[in-house]
Each structure stands twice: as C-alpha cells, then as structure tokens.
Amino acid sequence: MAFRVEVSPQAFEDLDAISAYIRQRGSFESAERWFNGIIAAVKTLCEAPQRCPLAEESRQLQSEVRLLLYGKRGRRYKVYFAIHKETETIRVFHVRHWARKPAGAGELDDLMGDAAEWD
C-alpha cells in the first residue's frame, strides 16, 4: 500500500532553518545537498512507514508518533511523523537535530496539530 506524504508548514520551517544553518557554516551546495537528501528520505515514507520505530516521546501521548532518522553519525536528524491509516496519509510535522533536547509530549502534541487525532 502506498501512502501519500504531507509535510506540515512547521516541518518546512524546521527544514529551512536547518538548511540556513548548514549554508552559514558551510556552503550553499552543502545545504542544498542536505535539503535534497532529507526530502528524498521523507518521500520513502510512502512505502512501509511502519519500518520506522515509535518515537520514545510518543509514550506520553495518546497518538502514535514515529521517527525517521536521516544523516550520518553525529549529524543525524529526527523526522517526526504520524500515520493516518484510514486516508493512507503520512504527516511529517517536525524535524530536529538528534543532539537537541528531546521534544516533550506537550511540544509534540502542539506540533502535531490535526495529526494527533489520526491513529
């Protein structure tokens, strides 16, 4: 079963901010390469999104939040998403560097928006 992948406005803001940071520290080319790579990884969620583990943070929520990891050791990013089985849609709602403080249940709940009602 192929799912449709939606990226929330907040997740796009996250991606833009991370890309801008990479561009400032490196180059436009490295930021573009990173951005294209993470978008390609997100697109793979359309096939078998259940392959990604549940996010530890989702234990405190009423919803299933899954986590796609992107990048190499020391430069990994967490892509948080939810699956809506009835509409066969994946909603990516947040992206953050793995070394940042884990998202709390309240923060994830706020970021999820409508996806909180999905599973």
Q: Domain containing 61 — which CATH number?
A: 3.30.2310.20
119 located within any domain: no
The total number of structural domains that make up the chain = 1
27 located within any domain: yes
How high is the pLDDT of residue 118? 45
pLDDT digits (tens, 9 = 90+) for 70-82: 998 778 999 999 9
Domain that holds residue 103: 4-113
How high is the pLDDT of residue 9? 94
105 located within any domain: yes
How high is the pLDDT of residue 1? 66
Kindly give the parts of the chain with pLDDT less than 50: 116-119
50 located within any domain: yes
How high is the pLDDT of residue 109? 74
How high is the pLDDT of residue 114? 52
Least Cα distance to 67 among 52, 85, 77 occurs for 52
